[in-house]
Structure 1
């Protein structure tokens, strides 16, 4: 009954499409125009990708820190390592460059060598006062020598902040206003003001300026992502159209396919704008994905049309059969692909949810466009020429199919042995996979800003902020000497960790105050004793000046203190070990009844997000497998067929995971996507093959061997075509400058190639080997959905 309803449904669909051509085309144009009006809502995200749910403990800790101290990633640093900087002309130019940025409203403060102040004891008035190292400008080389001696030998407070005395590298710190760090204003300031000013300075002085800091990195990195969207779309269109033309040798068919996928991309961008989603590193991949997934739809539909035209020469009947016989199969395969992406919606990550929503909706949209546009356009076009149908008789394709048939007939043991060996090797490789939570690992390695990241890592031990917040649980608890001593011990531990930079906190200011109290003697750069503390505090209270640099390291109530350090680009494993070591020290130093110490920062949030995603990978992939298994159970109504169909699709995933282990490709947000995407796409081949196999069984009186070989010959060509398109289509992502995108493209391509071979060799072999247990009407019951309608000789014109 359901089979008849399905057939009737597609007959009605074909009739509606072919009788309402103009109305449908006008409707598509109007919808496309509507979506194009939503493009204005598209914007690139101004915040970092947060992979954790909003209510996750790590996010709550980080947001609490921001509530107390405000945005922490507002620092841009300029660095120079050049002996010619220490000349009168260049040092003055360097200081003037810093002063230039102070006039911009986006800048909160700028700290350069010229801004550094000496804390000096005023005995007469019993207070501290500030005196600049450079009062006006440098006038002679002797002044530079004095300045060097002061900075490098007399004032350890400033060591490793604005200079590295061992390599004589200098830097300037630019603090942006915290309220613009996550807005478009940050991007405009960096692109329109910061970068041009620095380039002009380099031209005039011949000094090589290194620029870094999270606002700068994020801006240039996001611009690279935006630039690559156009590159991916263009490359995907080029490679898929070339392959399509190679298969069909028809400019007409190629142009129709390009038209369809281009409209699909326009709809995808419209969906992004309609939902007000930001363009992230993940959603930026969807437009080229739609091209890669849409072209196989076009191949199925156009190939069927040309096959029907060649068979009986009736164009109207051919188009009707394209819709009724291929439409259902294409719908099923697109639904399974969409399911692979839709599983991301069920995760708690906002980033993945948005990716899943847009990708799954876009896949269904491209199916609809293919089904509507291709048959309608062909009603207006003349019959295909003979040269357009030559590809249907390509001998080399026939040779490939015959090779597969021979392998399945005579070499099943070899197929099983190879599969088993690959499986064992893959499991070994899986145990070698590492997890990476690096913020910068996927950034383009050849860009200047990435080289600058490495420069600052080498000279100042990192640029990614790592924060410690100490809650003393009482007002003015930070300035208690016992608290300062505990903080000092924690800072000493941080200093000993090579992956972290020298920390800075209120402790350093207190030490500097004691040094100043003893007239600048460097041996007194230490915390005061309890007796000294009262004298030094009295001086500090009488002082009207303060060091702006440390304004933000104690909150207004004196309850919370902050220790800031910067972290090198390290893996999750190393970071977890560092975190454990620090936590052990914290537990000893800060009694929980009196203090609460939390470690946070953007780097921590990102790393914890990666770990969270890895834990959810199994859930996401399991959901994809369960959804598709239920889908196939509904279609084939056979548990045994579900098991047999899943084996050829799970093995390629394991092989890819094993390759990741052997090749040192870590699990990270970009590579996590591989498995659900590849599984959702590769299972399409299984559905096509099994649907045709069951049809062959009915036509051949339940003769297994004849049916398997028939299904292999019938579906082998289309599976080969689509797999080649998908392989080269996803390979487009390997031209990216982002390591994660390259890994995603290469891994999905490899997985789909393995999946094609698995579905063409292992699946038929399993069916033949298990013929006695599955080749009966009890196991292979009448399908709930007839994916490939039975061939008939019904010549009725539905039009």
Structure 2
């Protein structure tokens, strides 16, 4: 099959290259239609009970993650001139298109009862900008008496205050969001320059916009860096511009195909799919390295260019196909996670890794057949003294120090296993951001002054229509609110209870002492006032249309998935049970924060499942290639050890298991096993060629494939290490851990793997059936030039 394929590729190389060019033009044309995704990644499956409940919550009460906050903490804000500028900022934000409403100190409103209409009316505290400092001080004193805003907009202890900006839903998940967030930031920065008051920003729209913008910039940077780094390393290895230019052309073609695939499948560019181009650059280059190295080896032996190019396809075509397949499997298994962002990432990456094989197997032989044969200058790398010395040293180590290799391997595995046991799984809403970044510093401001900014919701089902009007129910909710507000990481709640308290204060002429739940005597009057007039729409944000469901809205600090899980299940849930034990009411927690944390936990579990699935699929592929269970075990061991080492490093250095780090294992396993396949395929050929002399076959395999394995490992190492230049901890961890894993994989595949084969294959054996490969008929008849048994020629006797 591969001989025929080699013949056809070389015979029809020009039409095939033209066809690849036309496909690339088509993909490039389609790629113009791709768009960036601005939606918050939905990680929890749609049918999950918590996700179903969260969707119902949003349908009833609206979005909870659409608020951006501007925070200030400076006594100057309460001085007349600065307050005027602060007012200008508030009103300027109100005028911005795409903003639903703005709530800040300058435009605060208070409830006032209208006895004639028997309703509450919303009246501004600052009816215009005060003209004197005394007037401002008086109004500020009135604002401070409104308990409703305490802990929400104003920190009564230190004077910190917020402007809360609600962004319209249609803008929140569109490309206009980033522009709107930038406009808000510009307005805040302009106020900061004019007033000298430090301004802080937070909220999900802000963090999502900043993160997306940084990722876009980094993706372009990493794509350029990966091309430059791989190009430099290729030139250092092969000392030929052709050996650099055409592999990069191959990668460029596949990158265009990646963008075209996204467009054809109607996928948007997400933070994950955006990583595919630089990843393709790095893991696609080894194809070219193995093919060029084999081409130069073959040509150096017999000097026949077309024969050398044909043997590239015949001898390592199937091996390259299998290595690309195993790498693709590491991505394809992500499609089984039922998580859209991972499904799209896995499908697009897997398809284009296989496309890399197709483009490489056509362009490398095709292009180089059109050029003059390599000169001695081009073949000089085959006799690179330093590399040759390293390979010879590795050959000696493998043959003479097998026991030491096994002892070191066992010790490393044991130490790594202990480190593995120390790994902790934890994720944050604003994850992977450096501690010294403005985003993290601003987040700390809101956590220190307002207990956080991340949305958390409590939904109380009173069990009956208009159950919200039952004072006993409100008292139960108030008891719950008092408890959760006492927790350091949670802000003062906002709910119908807060409105009822504020209404009672307003009913009794704004006296702070009356900020409490209505009594049985005034309950009917106050609730009747609340249900009419301007406050009706406000109440609908916290009570459903039937009056049965009550929303308690909170803000929480970004304390991480573990502490949040302990807080919810170990502290809040038991308290809810004790408060509502004798009640028919049902209480549930929901919100974007809980869904995000649960999604990350679900994501990690699915990624680990995917890694196990990839492990078994690759094992099956190895079995089909070598048809022997023992060979599968031998080939898997050297690739499990690097993963174990990486897990150990994570445990010892406190690197948590989260989506960005869990993703490493299934991907790296698919990449690292490529070296094993190349080595074993060469070993299989050398066994035939050397009449099953295992020691000699191992030596020749190390010396020929060793250089390619080292070349590709160096490219992969430096290709992934560039990700440490990222500002995101997850991307940095991806770069560091992937590079480390692939480095150890190179060592285990050039040292541990051959040592295992020598140990496993020692002693007497049946010469007609080798334990590492399928049965070989007519073995004693000799071997042809391609490593296949050839029939014995009939001898003719000459009679005397």
Q: Same fold (TM over 0.5)?
A: yes
Residue 566 of structure 2 corresponds to residue 577 of structure 1: yes
Contact 1:506 1:553 in 2 (8 A): yes
Residue 546 of structure 2 corresponds to residue 557 of structure 1: yes
What do residues 14-57 of structure 1 show as CA deviations (whole Å, max 9, x unaligned)? 22222223322221121111111222332222111222222112
Task: Say which SS state the counterpart of residue 348 (structure 2) adopts.
Answer: helix
What do residues 446-486 of structure 1 show as CA deviations (whole Å, max 9, x unaligned)? 54334322222222121211111122232221222122111
**Root-mean-square deviation (Å):** 2.2
Distance in 1, Cα, partners of 2:673 & 2:361: 21
* 1:158 counterpart (149, 173, 184): 149
Contact 1:704 1:775 in 2 (8 A): no
1:624-635 equivalent positions in 2, closer than 5 A: 624-635=614-625
Distance in 2, Cα, partners of 1:58 & 1:604: 9
Distance in 1, Cα, partners of 2:715 & 2:764: 33
What do residues 655-699 of structure 1 show as CA deviations (whole Å, max 9, x unaligned)? 111111111111111111111011101111111112222222222
Residue 337 of structure 2 corresponds to residue 347 of structure 1: yes
Compute the displacement of 1:279 (Å): 1.4
Distance in 2, Cα, partners of 1:616 & 1:676: 11
Distance in 2, Cα, partners of 1:229 & 1:783: 50
Which deviates more from structure 2 when the two are superposed, residues 415-424 or residues 15-24? 15-24
What do residues 392-442 of structure 1 show as CA deviations (whole Å, max 9, x unaligned)? 101111111122122222222222222112112112111211112312122
* 1:303 counterpart (287, 293, 299): 293
1:394-409 equivalent positions in 2, closer than 5 A: 394-409=384-399
Partner of residue 533, structure 2: 544
Task: Say which SS state the counterpart of residue 530 (structure 1) adopts.
Answer: coil
Partner of residue 169, structure 2: 178
Task: Say which SS state the counterpart of residue 779 (structure 1) adopts.
Answer: coil
Which deviates more from structure 2 when the two are superposed, residues 624-633 or residues 408-417? 408-417
Compute the displacement of 1:126 (Å): 5.7
What do residues 290-327 of structure 1 show as CA deviations (whole Å, max 9, x unaligned)? 10011111111111222222222222222222222222
Q: Indicate how the Cα distance of structure 1 residues 134 and 106 shifts in structure 2: closer, same or farther if over 3 A, else same.
A: same
Compute the displacement of 1:531 (Å): 2.4
Q: Indicate how the Cα distance of structure 1 residues 218 and 117 shifts in structure 2: closer, same or farther if over 3 A, else same.
A: same
* 2:77 counterpart (82, 85, 104): 85
Which deviates more from structure 2 when the two are superposed, residues 474-483 or residues 338-347? 474-483
1:580-599 equivalent positions in 2, closer than 5 A: 580=569, 581-590=571-580, 594-599=584-589
Partner of residue 438, structure 1: 428
Residue 40 of structure 2 corresponds to residue 48 of structure 1: yes
Contact 1:111 1:173 in 2 (8 A): yes
Contact 1:190 1:219 in 2 (8 A): yes
Contact 2:330 2:614 in 1 (8 A): yes
> What residue ranges of structure 2 are gaps of 5+ in the alignment?
777-782, 789-800
* 1:270 counterpart (260, 274, 278): 260
Compute the displacement of 1:11 (Å): 2.2
Q: Indicate how the Cα distance of structure 1 residues 517 and 697 shifts in structure 2: closer, same or farther if over 3 A, else same.
A: same
Distance in 2, Cα, partners of 1:131 & 1:244: 72
Partner of residue 98, structure 1: 90
Distance in 1, Cα, partners of 2:745 & 2:84: 64
Distance in 2, Cα, partners of 1:793 & 1:751: 33
Partner of residue 686, structure 1: 676
What do residues 509-567 of structure 1 show as CA deviations (whole Å, max 9, x unaligned)? 111122223322222211122223124334445x6332876541112221221111112
Contact 2:497 2:517 in 1 (8 A): yes
Q: Indicate how the Cα distance of structure 1 residues 217 and 718 shifts in structure 2: closer, same or farther if over 3 A, else same.
A: same
Contact 1:636 1:783 in 2 (8 A): no
Distance in 1, Cα, partners of 2:765 & 2:250: 41
Distance in 1, Cα, partners of 2:272 & 2:337: 15
Which deviates more from structure 2 when the two are superposed, residues 315-324 or residues 661-670? 315-324
Distance in 2, Cα, partners of 1:704 & 1:520: 94
Partner of residue 6, structure 1: none
Distance in 2, Cα, partners of 1:189 & 1:83: 29
> What residue ranges of structure 1 are gaps of 5+ in the alignment?
1-8, 795-799
1:257-406 equivalent positions in 2, closer than 5 A: 257-406=247-396
Compute the displacement of 1:774 (Å): 9.6
Contact 2:391 2:702 in 1 (8 A): yes
Contact 1:635 1:783 in 2 (8 A): no
Compute the displacement of 1:599 (Å): 1.0
Partner of residue 747, structure 1: 737
Compute the displacement of 1:783 (Å): 7.6
Partner of residue 210, structure 1: 200
Residue 9 of structure 2 corresponds to residue 27 of structure 1: no
Residue 644 of structure 2 corresponds to residue 654 of structure 1: yes
Instruction: Give TM-score scaled by structure 2 length.
Output: 0.93
Residue 8 of structure 2 corresponds to residue 11 of structure 1: no
Aligned length: 779
What do residues 320-351 of structure 1 show as CA deviations (whole Å, max 9, x unaligned)? 22222222211111111111111111112111
Distance in 2, Cα, partners of 1:548 & 1:456: 28
Q: Indicate how the Cα distance of structure 1 residues 770 and 563 shifts in structure 2: closer, same or farther if over 3 A, else same.
A: same
Contact 2:86 2:106 in 1 (8 A): no
Residue 47 of structure 2 corresponds to residue 58 of structure 1: no
Distance in 2, Cα, partners of 1:333 & 1:588: 59
Distance in 2, Cα, partners of 1:481 & 1:47: 40
Compute the displacement of 1:217 (Å): 1.6
Task: Say which SS state the counterpart of residue 541 (structure 2) adopts.
Answer: helix
Q: Indicate how the Cα distance of structure 1 residues 128 and 66 shifts in structure 2: closer, same or farther if over 3 A, else same.
A: closer
Task: Say which SS state the counterpart of residue 528 (structure 1) adopts.
Answer: coil
Compute the displacement of 1:261 (Å): 0.8
1:98-117 equivalent positions in 2, closer than 5 A: 98-117=90-109
